[in-house]
Structure 1
Amino acid sequence: MLALLRDLRFSLRVLFKNPGFALAAILILALGIGANTAMFTVASALLLRPFPYHDPQQLVSVESKDKTAERGGTLLRYELLRDRSQSFQSVAAWTNDTFDLTGHGEPMQVPVARVSPSFFPMLGVRPQLGRVFSDAEGRPEGEHVVMLSDALWRSRFGGDPNIVGRTVTLDTAPHTVVGILPADAQFPFIGQADVWTPRYFELTLMTPQRLRSGVGYLSFLARLRSGTTVAQAQSELAVLNEQYRQQNPTAPDADPAVMMMASPLRDLVVANVRGRILMLSAAVAVVLLIACANVASLLLSRALSRRREIAVRTAMGASRGVIVRQLLTESILLALFAGVLGVGLGWAATRAMATLSASQLPQGMPITMDLRVLLFAVGVSLLTGAGFGIFPALQLARADLNTTLREEGLSASAGRERARVRSLLVVGQVALSLLLLIGAGLLLRSFARLLRVDPGFDAHSVLTMNVSLPTVKYAKPEQQIAFFDEVLRRVSALPGVRSAAISAALPLSSKRITPMLPQGQAEVPLAQRPFLDIEAVSPQWFDTMRVPLRGGRWFIAADDAQAPKVIVVNETFARRFWPGENPLGKRVIIGRATVGAEVVGVAGDVKNQGLAEETQAQVYVPFPQLPWGNMNLLVRTDVPPQGMASAVQKQIAAVDADQPVTSIQTVDELMDSSRSQPHFTMMLLAAFSVGAFALAIIGIYGVLAYSVAQRRHEMAIRLALGAERGDILRLVVGQGLWLSVVGIGIGLLAAILMTRLMSDMLYDVSARDLMTFILAPVIFLGVALLASYVPARRATKLNPVEALRQS
């Protein structure tokens, strides 16, 4: 312990005597450690931190999937799992919904989670006030009860503890509050929910009969029995799935291709972000390696000035082990100082990432530093200090005592060895930084392609907002149609409004699918028909969104509930089912209908599921023929659209003063949101690659500057013997270019092998995009040439007489 304290005191004195070197090394390392700490904070929160539930490792999600997508669970599947599964200790069902909350202030729409009574006991979540739901309340004849989130309880009801036992009005019906959830309750697999109800067997705007007919609207959560594995549960699910098909042969999800799949709960939460987190974590690890190589290069540069000091200490009896320990203590102390600064930088970067990427990360999983993150930062700092310090320490400890003390020949062999090591470090930096640069270039090219995607509509000057009608108040389709007709009439008459329309889904977010049988296709059971996008729109929707008409006509006012069923299909639908034929006049059987709807028009393709997603076959239905209480209002304006929001809301309130409006935004903002995740990933990787690129260029400059300093005697002799200064310039620049070319070659090979892992993150760009693989090295080589020129220029100004005299 005394020896360690002595080494620490001596190391501190050494570092304080060389503040320039210490500060440079600390800053370089702090950037690398800070970036790694920030990314580990995100990775820890999303991938490692246990969920705050009882035995979270035993929780699994059960999804119904076919070959193409998740289909949603049905009531019948839930009852099968709940009553017959032997692998699960308990099973819960949940789905999202909305309620209109009235009374206690202005009307507002609140996000709702419908959960089975088993949900909270399974997770081990207890309310801070009141109780959870009883089994009786989870039946159709049960009382209407709710639990409130802490946020809604405080914001809407002032945190009044007496609210438990009272009633609140939701969708015009009284509901008794039985509990308040804790403030730190987290349900990232559900998302935001302020009201919780045990009536999972209901859904706004859906009749009980329709839900029991096989609508896939539920998600399932299950707890494995002790000793049961996910694989064992999956085997049982295959058996239960076959039983379901035999007992419900006409159900829409009785297709043999639909399977129930069990997976750890975390997979459900982080499936969309895991790949990006791992890629960015690898990128920051590369940045730290480059930072370590840079600091190791600095230590090798300092080695020359410390050779005599080490030789004297050796002559006085210090063993090589003591010398190595002392030098490693200095390196680790440097890394620990950098670690302290890096934790601060990581904290700031984490807060920035959590704010900027809030919409891309799972909700309800706070991205905060904890003990695991701090231990990681300490561990990385210690490993970093040992990593970049070990070779310079060993090299100094091996220095020849007699040669060093006599200062004869300046230990040419040791100098050449240090030069080789520094050159290898630079080659490694160039290779790693080029790998990151190519990765960032691919994402940049992909994002540029995404910006140029034609969505199939005009996104400018369109305001959107959601209107969800309460089922009790607007139970009949005629009431829903009358409400929206009046809203459209009023809004269309506003000054500055060019047109107004409604649609069941917003652009880029169509998720409503139903089985269809286009004319000419083989007659198959309902479950085996293709599930295709269906969209209810008002006749003005196509004009409002400026979707091109490719043939036929749009909907008209006469296409009402009493008129023959008509549809408009998109070009993809027509090409898929009637290639080379005229689709007009053909029919499509939708859902359980017995008579097909007639195709009266063909619309241009619209990106209905996201800008980066392939356009799917789409069917548009007149709103009066497929009325729906949860609709989106779209208003095209001649003025800035956000400025019209208040006027539009007033017209809705004039129709129904208790009707709330939510999700007010423009279609341009929807477009930006669709691009936000690839944009954020691109910006982060670009920042890391620029940092790595800068460190590599500094490394090239440092090696050449050191080389010029070490070879002053040689260059002076060359000049004295008649060498041209241009020869010296070419000598130094050639050394820099050689290091760069070797590093670029290695980096290109690594990029060819590694970038294929990014394929899923790229849009319309190959993982081996030729332009990126050419431009990145060319840019790197150009900047490396400039970095080589500066020390080379200094070498050409060398005075040979003065240099030889000093030697």
Structure 2
Amino acid sequence: MPNLVSEVRLAVRSLARSRGFALAAIACLALGIGATTAIFSVVNAVLLRPLAYKNPDGLARIYTEFPKFPNGGLRRFWTSGPEFLELRRDLRSWQSIDAWRLGGVNLSGSNEPLRIVAGFVSGGLMETLGVQPRLGRVLTPSDDVPGANPAVVLSAGLWNRAFGSDPNILHREVWLDGRKANVIGVMPEGFQYPPGETEPAEMWSALQLDPARPGNRGGHNFNLLGRLKAGTNLEQARQEAAQYVRATGQKERATPNQHMLDPEGHPLVMFGLQEEVTGSVKPALLAMFAAVGFVLLIACGNVANLLLARAESRQREIAVRRAMGASTAGLIRQFVVEGILLSLGGAVAGLALAFGCLKLILSAAGASLPRATEIGVDPTVLAFTIGISIFTGIFFGFAPLVQSLPRPLAETLKAAGGRTTATREAHFLRRLMITSEIALALVLLIGAGLMMSAFWKLQTVRSGVQPEHVMTLRVALPRELYRQPADILAFWAKLEQRTRTLPGVLNAAVVNGLPPIRPVNANDTQIEGFVQKQGGPIQNIDYWNGVGVNYFSTLGIQLVEGRFFNESDGAASQPVLIINETLARIYYPGQSPIGKRMRPGFDDPWRTIVGVVADVKNAGLDKPAGTELYFPMPQTEGNFRSASVVARTQGDPVQMVSALRGVIQELDPALPVSAVMPMTEVMAKAQARPRFLTLLIGLFSAVALGLAALGIYSVMAYSVAQRTNEFGIRMAMGALQGDVLRLVLRQGLILGVSGVGIGAAGALILSRLLRGSLYGVGAFDPLPFIGMSVLLLAVTALACLSPALRATRVDPVIALRYE
């Protein structure tokens, strides 16, 4: 221990004598370690850390699918009530199978009415998760009996926000959509179910699905969670499910509208719960982790170059210490201590940087990143950072010794006694590291270029609406207070009419489903005269939308054929529809659909198509438009209890928020208002994930470019300093300043071209990892590859320029006199 203390003191004194070197090395390491720690914190929380449930590896999602539906089929789809009850009864691989659905509810009984997302779960689901509540108890099967008194469990966030963390919250009465319920529990901080939702549930209540009336087989409204029996794995459960579906299909072949399980038309699929939560972001996060690893390697390469340069100036010190009896082990131990001190200094500064990076990441990610609330610098992340620091410290500690220890002592003393250039091996090692840095930087730059190109193309996508100067908010009518269809329709009509008459409002309407992201409906719809063909579309429409008369003009949706809805399309008028271009193209190819008839749900009245409008994006800006039909709100028979208000304004739409809220409060003071935001912000939220990924890789690329430029500069500056005499002799023998300038620039550009060649090959691999995040951009898009290669070569030339100009200013007389 005394030896170690003395070695630490000696290392500190040595680094203090080279403050500039130490600060440069620590700064490089801080950038690399800080960025790596921040991204590892994200990867650890999102991908690596098990979900916070009991035995999470045994949990899996169970879906149905409709592979033959249009646009590639319906994948990982919900189940119907009858399917859920049958699967829970018949499948033997599962200890439990539970259902849930999410829905917006109006919560009263707190400080003010709130619109929240609630999870309605079957009675055993919360017990299956195995998470103990903070207060009270969780929902049980006894709460799930039809007709039982409604009970609710609150999230810790809602308990704090709406009830001020009241310790006496248990058994308090609240109202969900006007229906009285009792609070029976509060979940612990951080609990979330289902995990990974962009709008997580803040309250849970019993589903109370009646086995005697579970709904029809076409009503796919439920998500399923299963826990495997002990000793059973997911593959065995899949095999059992496949046999079950085959037997069901053989026993009772489905017609197109029966929705019976069938291996080809309506199979079951199952996936591990953690895989489902993180699968959509896993490739992009792994690519980000690889990218930030490149930043760390570039930073380490810079530090290694600094250490090699410093090592050449310490050859005499090493030789003298060896001559005085210092052992090889002692020298190794001394320089390793110096390397670890440098790395620990970089780690401390890097951790401070990592906290700042995490704040930036979380603010930029918003709700686009699953499990974002779990991200932080925890013990695993700290261990990772310390591990990186110790490894790099040991690695760097050997740098001063790689040139001197293999050489005989006499040769080292002789070489260190005079002025000489570095060894050929040292030159080669430095150039190899710089070439590697350039290659790694190019990989990141091309990745950033691809992401920016994809994000730019996403901005140019036609959403089908004109979002500027439009304000939106959402209102839901509780079932207990608005029982009659006439009451519902009257409310929407009054809301629409009063909003339109507000000063500053040009037009306004209500709409059930607001683009550009909304859940798919996939509703059966009878199409008059339609004959189904093998492999062709079936009578099912992706989106149904109830809209006010002025909806299309308010959002600027273009009319393609026919007419818009008007005031004459009332409840007593002929039932009508408007369809989108995609629906017209699929079901009425080569003909006009105007005057044709459709019947939603196969049991509604026939409705006549009066118009065709341009496609509007509903599944996301990067997804193709689905089929969509529009009902005039007065003819919806009160089926839509929840709707958004869209108001086109003369000026800044945000200034109309107070007036819009006032209209709703006048109509019903108990109604909460939610999702208040300009339409431009609604559109921006649809691009949150690609924006987040583009920002991250752009930042890392900028850091990598700066570090690579610093590395090139340092190597070229050192090379010029080592070759001062050579340049003096050349100029004394007649070489011009331009000749020396070209010589140095050529040396640097050779390194740049070599790195660009290697980096372009590596970028192809990264681009394949990012392929799922690149909208409208192929894995090999020539523009980012060429543009970023030229940029990096330009930066290389600029980094070489200052050392090259310094070389041209060498005085031949002084150089020859010194020689």
Give TM-score, length-normalised by structure 2. Answer: 0.93
Structure 2 counterpart of 1:604: 614
Retained in 2: the 8 A contact 1:252–1:527?
no
Whether 1:419 and 2:431 are equivalent positions in the alignment is: no
Aligned mate of 2:191, from 172, 185, 190: 185
What letter matches 2:715 in structure 1?
V
Spell out the pairing of 1:591-740 with structure 2 (5 A cutoff).
591-593=601-603, 596-626=606-636, 627-740=639-752
SS of alignment partner, residue 687 of structure 2: helix
Retained in 1: the 8 A contact 2:316–2:417?
no
Question: Which one is further off, 81-90 or 299-308?
Answer: 81-90
Spell out the pairing of 1:70-219 with structure 2 (5 A cutoff).
70-187=76-193, 188-189=195-196, 191-201=199-209, 211-219=215-223
Structure 1 counterpart of 2:70: none
Return the alpha-carbon distance in structure 2 between the equivalents of residues 243 and 387 of structure 1.
62
Deviation at 1:134? 3.4
Cα distance change on mapping 1:372 and 1:703 into 2, 3 Å:
same
Retained in 2: the 8 A contact 1:251–1:527?
no
C-alpha distance after superposition, 1:91-138 (max 9, x if no partner):
221111122223443322222110111011111122222222332320
Deviation at 1:81? 2.5
Question: Which one is further off, 130-139 or 423-432?
Answer: 130-139
Counting aligned pairs with the same residue, the percent is 37
Aligned length in residues: 803
Aligned mate of 1:569, from 569, 579, 583: 579
Return the alpha-carbon distance in structure 1 between the equivalents of residues 204 and 80 of structure 2.
20
Segments of 5+ residues of structure 2 without an aligned counterpart are: 68-72
Return the alpha-carbon distance in structure 2 between the equivalents of residues 455 and 681 of structure 1.
21
SS of alignment partner, residue 41 of structure 1: helix
Retained in 2: the 8 A contact 1:252–1:515?
no
Deviation at 1:605? 1.7
Structure 1 counterpart of 2:232: 228
Retained in 1: the 8 A contact 2:192–2:201?
no
Deviation at 1:412? 6.2
Cα distance change on mapping 1:572 and 1:765 into 2, 3 Å:
same
What letter matches 2:786 in structure 1?
I
Deviation at 1:170? 2.1
Retained in 2: the 8 A contact 1:63–1:261?
yes
Aligned mate of 1:776, from 779, 785, 788: 788
Spell out the pairing of 1:278-293 with structure 2 (5 A cutoff).
278-293=286-301
Return the alpha-carbon distance in structure 1 between the equivalents of residues 690 and 532 of structure 2.
42
Return the alpha-carbon distance in structure 1 between the equivalents of residues 476 and 245 of structure 2.
35
Question: Which one is further off, 312-321 or 215-224?
Answer: 312-321
Question: Which one is further off, 106-115 or 387-396?
Answer: 387-396
Structure 2 counterpart of 1:541: 551
Structure 1 counterpart of 2:353: 345
What letter matches 1:746 in structure 2?
I
Return the alpha-carbon distance in structure 2 between the equivalents of residues 680 and 173 of structure 1.
40
SS of alignment partner, residue 63 of structure 2: strand
Whether 1:395 and 2:403 are equivalent positions in the alignment is: yes
Retained in 2: the 8 A contact 1:201–1:211?
no
Deviation at 1:640? 1.5
Segments of 5+ residues of structure 1 without an aligned counterpart are: none
Whether 1:522 and 2:531 are equivalent positions in the alignment is: yes
Whether 1:582 and 2:587 are equivalent positions in the alignment is: no
Return the alpha-carbon distance in structure 1 between the equivalents of residues 539 and 243 of structure 2.
23
SS of alignment partner, residue 117 of structure 1: coil
Whether 1:750 and 2:762 are equivalent positions in the alignment is: yes
Question: Which one is further off, 315-324 or 47-56?
Answer: 315-324
Return the alpha-carbon distance in structure 1 between the equivalents of residues 253 and 573 of structure 2.
33
SS of alignment partner, residue 460 of structure 1: coil
Spell out the pairing of 1:261-272 with structure 2 (5 A cutoff).
261-272=269-280
Return the alpha-carbon distance in structure 2 between the equivalents of residues 612 and 486 of structure 1.
36
Aligned mate of 1:454, from 452, 462, 465: 462
Retained in 2: the 8 A contact 1:60–1:262?
yes
Aligned mate of 2:258, from 248, 251, 275: 251
SS of alignment partner, residue 438 of structure 2: helix
Retained in 1: the 8 A contact 2:111–2:163?
no
Retained in 2: the 8 A contact 1:137–1:145?
yes
Deviation at 1:242? 4.1
Whether 1:795 and 2:807 are equivalent positions in the alignment is: yes
Deviation at 1:222? 1.3
SS of alignment partner, residue 610 of structure 1: coil
Deviation at 1:479? 1.8
Deviation at 1:567? 1.6
What letter matches 1:58 in structure 2?
G
What letter matches 1:307 in structure 2?
Q
Deviation at 1:719? 1.6
SS of alignment partner, residue 798 of structure 1: coil
SS of alignment partner, residue 76 of structure 2: coil
Retained in 1: the 8 A contact 2:151–2:181?
yes
Structure 2 counterpart of 1:386: 394
SS of alignment partner, residue 374 of structure 2: coil
Return the alpha-carbon distance in structure 2 between the equivalents of residues 390 and 251 of structure 1.
73
Retained in 2: the 8 A contact 1:130–1:180?
yes
Cα distance change on mapping 1:803 and 1:520 into 2, 3 Å:
farther
C-alpha distance after superposition, 1:267-286 (max 9, x if no partner):
22222222221111110000
C-alpha distance after superposition, 1:416-454 (max 9, x if no partner):
221111111111111110111011011111111122222
Deviation at 1:213? 4.2
Deviation at 1:319? 3.3
Deviation at 1:610? 1.7
Structure 2 counterpart of 1:437: 445
Return the alpha-carbon distance in structure 1 between the equivalents of residues 395 and 416 of structure 2.
31
Retained in 2: the 8 A contact 1:307–1:399?
no
Retained in 1: the 8 A contact 2:316–2:416?
no
What letter matches 2:481 in structure 1?
K
What letter matches 1:516 in structure 2?
T
Whether 1:510 and 2:506 are equivalent positions in the alignment is: no
What letter matches 1:787 in structure 2?
A
C-alpha distance after superposition, 1:445-496 (max 9, x if no partner):
1111122222111101111111111112222322211110111111111111
Deviation at 1:322? 3.2
Retained in 2: the 8 A contact 1:38–1:350?
yes
Deviation at 1:298? 0.6
Return the alpha-carbon distance in structure 1 between the equivalents of residues 714 and 398 of structure 2.
20
Return the alpha-carbon distance in structure 2 between the equivalents of residues 253 and 29 of structure 1.
60
Deviation at 1:200? 4.9
Whether 1:532 and 2:539 are equivalent positions in the alignment is: no
What letter matches 2:608 in structure 1?
E
What letter matches 2:303 in structure 1?
V
Deviation at 1:770? 1.3
Cα distance change on mapping 1:157 and 1:413 into 2, 3 Å:
closer
Give TM-score, length-normalised by structure 1. Answer: 0.95
Cα distance change on mapping 1:557 and 1:623 into 2, 3 Å:
same
C-alpha distance after superposition, 1:128-159 (max 9, x if no partner):
22222332320212222222223333333333
Return the alpha-carbon distance in structure 2 between the equivalents of residues 678 and 389 of structure 1.
41
C-alpha distance after superposition, 1:68-111 (max 9, x if no partner):
33321221222123222211111221111122223443322222
SS of alignment partner, residue 152 of structure 2: strand
SS of alignment partner, residue 221 of structure 1: strand
Structure 1 counterpart of 2:491: 483
Deviation at 1:687? 0.8
SS of alignment partner, residue 146 of structure 1: strand
What letter matches 2:531 in structure 1?
A
Return the alpha-carbon distance in structure 1 between the equivalents of residues 641 and 222 of structure 2.
20
Deviation at 1:786? 1.5
Cα distance change on mapping 1:30 and 1:366 into 2, 3 Å:
same
Cα distance change on mapping 1:611 and 1:799 into 2, 3 Å:
same
Deviation at 1:722? 1.8
Retained in 2: the 8 A contact 1:403–1:411?
no
C-alpha distance after superposition, 1:606-648 (max 9, x if no partner):
2222222222222222223333101111111113211111111
Return the alpha-carbon distance in structure 1 between the equivalents of residues 162 and 600 of structure 2.
43
SS of alignment partner, residue 161 of structure 1: coil
SS of alignment partner, residue 510 of structure 1: coil
Structure 1 counterpart of 2:245: 241
Return the alpha-carbon distance in structure 1 between the equivalents of residues 555 and 407 of structure 2.
77
Cα distance change on mapping 1:364 and 1:346 into 2, 3 Å:
closer
SS of alignment partner, residue 349 of structure 1: helix
SS of alignment partner, residue 509 of structure 1: coil
